[in-house]
Amino acid sequence: LGTRRKESGDGRVTIRDVARASGVSVGTVSRALNGYPDVSEATRERIARFAREMDYTPAAAARTLVLERSHVIGAVLETGEGHPDLQHPFFHGVLVGLQERIGAAGYDLLLFASAGSGFGPDSYLRRCHHHSTDGVVLMGEPDPAEVERLMRSRIPCVGVDLVLDGGNASQVISDNVAGAAMAVAHLAELGHRRVATITGLLETRPARDRLTGYRQELQRRGLPYRDDYVVYGDYYPDSGTEAIASLLALEEPPTAVFCASDLMALGVLRGAAAAGVSVPEQLSVIGFDDIMVATHSDPPLTTLRQDKHGLGVATAEALLERIEGAEDATPARTLPVELIARGTCAPAAEPDR
Amino acid sequence: LGTRRKESGDGRVTIRDVARASGVSVGTVSRALNGYPDVSEATRERIARFAREMDYTPAAAARTLVLERSHVIGAVLETGEGHPDLQHPFFHGVLVGLQERIGAAGYDLLLFASAGSGFGPDSYLRRCHHHSTDGVVLMGEPDPAEVERLMRSRIPCVGVDLVLDGGNASQVISDNVAGAAMAVAHLAELGHRRVATITGLLETRPARDRLTGYRQELQRRGLPYRDDYVVYGDYYPDSGTEAIASLLALEEPPTAVFCASDLMALGVLRGAAAAGVSVPEQLSVIGFDDIMVATHSDPPLTTLRQDKHGLGVATAEALLERIEGAEDATPARTLPVELIARGTCAPAAEPDR
DNA sequence: CTGTTAGCGCTTTCAG
DNA sequence: CTGAAAGCGCTAACAG
C-alpha cells in the first residue's frame, strides 16, 4: 500500500518520500530538517543525508499554507503614466540591493506591475493577500488610494523615497534636502549667483525635498530666489531639454542649473548644445542620482550620488525588522548623498555684472 | 458549531467564510467563482456579490498546492561577475514587456538573484521547484551547469538572447547578425573601408552573432577584415573607452567602429574625445540596443534598436505557449532590429588613401 | 444543480 | 525521542 501515487515518473519528491526512505514518520523528518532539538543526532543525520541524495525541496506552497508566512516580499514599481519606472536606472540599483539583502535572509522578490495592468484592476493589497506576501516595498509613484489601502492592512510596508504614514510602515530615503543644498553650495562657491533649478515631479517627495534644499541654501547664502528660475520637470531627459530652452530664453538667463535628476541633466546638456551654449564654460550643470551613464556624458556630469545599493539594503532591513515583529521598528532611515564633481561645473564667467 | 476559528480579528477571509455567508457549501463557492457551468445563475451571483463585499481573495498557496500550478514564473537575471545584469538598461525594457504580458495572463514574476547570492548556493532548479514556478525565463549569463540542470527538468524555460537546447525550452532573440550587417552596410555606404568592431562578451550568444554579422557583411562588400580591428569588450562603457584607445593607437586606425552595445559606444565617444578625435568627423561610431540615453549623448548615437519591449512580450508568449502545453511550441523567435541613424556617423573623410 | 469528502505537502500538538 | 492525526485553504471527483 502507499506505493500507488508517488512512484509514477513525474513526481516531485515530497517529505513523505524522504520519510519512507529514511524509515521514519513525516513528522520526524519535518522536525529534523527544521532543526528542532528533540531529534536524535543519528536520525537527524540519516534524514539529512536522504534528503540531500533525493534532492528534496520543501514545497513553499504547503509551508506557506500552514505557517501563514510565505517568505516572499512584494515589490511594487508603479509605472507613472508613459514612464515605466522600471525603466529609470535609479530603481535598478535599489532593486539589486534589496534583492541581495532579502535573499540573504531567505526571502524572494515578487514583482508587481502596475495595478491597472494585467487582468483586472486588482489592488496591490489583494495581490499581497493572494500571495501571502510577508511584506511589500513601494517605489515610484503608486496610486495614493492603493497606498492607503495597504496602510490600513497589517502587512509590513516600506517606501523608498516615499512618505508612508501607517503604523506598519517604514521609509527609507536619501537626504534630498541636504543634497540639493550641497549642489547650490558647490555652485555658489564657484561664484554663481544666478542658479536655476529643474525640479522632478512635484507630486513626489524627493522632488519637493530637492526644491526645498535648493531654496534653503539660496537663502542661507543670500542668493536671490526667483520664480522664473524654477522650472518643472518630470525626471526624464526631454523635460530637461525643454526646461533649459525656456531658461536660456530668459532676459537674464542663469549661469548654473541644478537638476533634480541625471536624466534631466543629460537633457540639459543636449539642449545647451543645441542652443550653442557651452558647458561648463557658459553654463554649469549639476544632476542628481549618479546613474551609470553620468560618467560618460560629455562633459561627464557633476552630480549628487545617491547610494542606490545602500537604499536597497536599508529597505530590506527595514522590512525584515518589521516582519520579524519589532514593535520599535525605526520608522525612517535617511541615507546621505555625496557630491561627485566631474566636468559640468566651472567658475562663473562674470562674478558680477 | 464552526464559529470558533474564524471570527477572531486577524482572519483573512477564506472560501469557507464566503460559503457560510452565502449559505452554500465551499464546493459550490469554488465552482461558482471559477466559472464552472453547473451552477445556477442565481447562486453564482449571490456568491459573487458576497465574495466582492467581503473582499475575498483566494489563497494562492492553497490553490497552488492542489492544482500544482502556481501562476508564478521565475525570472533569472544572472549577475555577471562585477556587473549586475539587472543594471544593464537592456534588461529593463525586456522585463517590462515580460511583466506586462504575463500579468495579462494572470501570472506574476518572481525575481531570482544570482544562485550564489543569498543563503546557500541553491540552484535555480531547486528554487523553481520550491516555488512551484510554472516556468522560468533566463537572461544574462547564467551558469551553464545551472542551465543544464534546468534543461533536464520538465519546467518550461525560455532564454532571452541565449541558446537553450533542452526539449522544454524556447528562445527569443534579436536578429543580431542582420543587425551587425546593417551597421557595417551603413558605414560602407558612407564610404568607410576601415571599419573596426568592439565585441560584447564572447561567451554570450549575441556577441558572437554580432561579430559574425560584422564579418559577413565586410566580406560581402569586399571590405578588408583584419584581426587588429576586432577588440573584445564586455558590453560596459569602460571597455569601450579602452578599446577605442587601442584602436586609435594602431598604425592605420579605423575610420569607423561598430560597437556591440550602446554602453560601449558611449565609452568610445568619451575615449575619442579624450584622444582629441572628433565624432563623427574623424570617426564614425555605431552602437547596438538603443537604450534611453542613446538619444542624449553628444552627438546622439546612431545605433541598432532592439525591440526590448517586444522581446519581453515574445518571451512571455513563448513561455505561456509551453506552459499551456503546446507540444508544437515554436522553439525560437527572432525579432528584427532597426537602424536608427542619429549623429555619430558621417561620410568617410578620405574615400581613398 | 449542490453538498460531502478526500487530499495537495507540510507543521504541530498530543500521546506514547 | 518518535509516531499518529489534525488541519492550513482550496479543488475535484462523486453522490445525490
Spell out the SS3 assignment of chain B: CCCCCCCCCCCCCCHHHHHHHHCCCHHHHHHHHCCCCCCCHHHHHHHHHHHHHHCCCCCHHHHHHHHCCCCEEEEEEECECCECHHHCHHHHHHHHHHHHHHHHCCCEEEEECCCCCCCCCCCHHHHHHHHCCCEEEEEECCCHHHHHHHHHCCCCEEEECCCCCCCCEEEEEECHHHHHHHHHHHHHHCCCCCEEEEECCCCCHHHHHHHHHHHHHHHHCCCCCCHHHEEECCCCHHHHHHHHHHHHCCCCCCCEEEECCHHHHHHHHHHHHHHCCCCCCCCEEEEEECCHHHHHCCCCCCEEECCHHHHHHHHHHHHHHHHCCCCCCCCEEEECCEEECCCCCCCCCCCCC
Residue B306's pLDDT is what? Answer: 96
Higher pLDDT, A177 or A112: A177
The pLDDT, as a whole number, for residue B350 is: 60
Contact A58 B263 (CB under 8 A): no
Cα dihedral sign for B121, B125, B130, B131? positive
Let me know: does A307 contact A337? Beta carbons within 8 Å. yes
* pTM across the whole model: 0.86
A60 neighbourhood in chain B, CB within 8 Å: 61, 130-132
Nucleotide nearest to A65 (CA to C1'): D8
Q: Choose among B96, B105, B113: nearest Cβ to A103.
A: B113
Q: With 90 as the cut, is the pLDDT of residue A86 above it?
A: no
Residue A86 distance to chain B (closest CA, Å): 6
Burial code (b: 16+ CB inside 10 Å, e: under 16) for A208-237 equals bbbbebbbbbbeeeebeeeeebbbebbbbb
Query: Does residue A127 surpass a pLDDT of 60?
Result: yes
* Average pLDDT, 10 consecutive residues per value, chain B (353 residues): 38 89 93 90 92 93 94 83 65 87 91 58 84 93 85 91 84 96 97 96 92 97 95 94 96 97 94 94 96 85 95 95 82 95 90 45
List chain B residues with CB under 8 Å of A127: 108
Residue B169 C-alpha, separation from nearest chain A C-alpha, in angstroms: 18
- Tell me the pLDDT of chain A averaged across its residues: 88
Of B10, B103, B270, the CB nearest to A113: B103
Which nucleotide, over all strands, has the C1' atom closest to the CA of B15?
D9
Q: How far is CA A48 from the centre of its chain?
A: 39
In sequence order, which residues have a C-beta less than 8 Å from that of residue A221 and are 6 or more positions away? A184, A185, A188
Å separating the CA of residue B18 from the C1' of nucleotide D14: 23
pLDDT at position A1 is: 26
Question: Which chain A residues are Cβ-neighbours of B109 within 8 angstroms?
Answer: 110-111
Indicate if the pLDDT at residue A338 is higher than 90.
Answer: yes
A132 touches strand D (CB under 7 A): no
Among chain B residues 48-87, those with CB within 7 Å of any atom of strand D? 56-59, 62-63, 65-67
CA distance B78 to chain A (A): 11
**CA–CA distance, B234 with B203 (Å, rounded to integer):** 10
3-state secondary structure of A198: strand
CA of B66 to C1' of D13 (A): 13
Contact residues, chain A, for B267 at CB < 8 Å: 296
A214: CB partners within 8 A, 6+ apart: A180, A181, A183, A184, A197, A258
The pLDDT, as a whole number, for residue A215 is: 97
- Within residues 61-80 of protein chain A, the ones with CB less than 7 A from nucleic strand D are 62, 65-66
CB contact under 8 A, A99 and B111: yes
Q: Among A49-63, A73-87, A102-116, B289-303, which is the least confidently predicted range?
A: A73-87
The CA–C1' separation of B56 and C13, in angstroms, is 30
Which protein residues have their Cβ less than 7 angstroms from some atom of strand C? A 5, 11-12, 14-16, 26-27, 30-31, 33-34, 56-59, 62-63, 65-67; B 23-28, 31, 37-44, 62, 65-66
More confident position, A87 or B71: B71
pLDDT value of position B100? 87
Smallest CA–C1' distance to C2, residue: B28
Q: Rounded distance, CA B310 to CA B317, Å?
A: 10
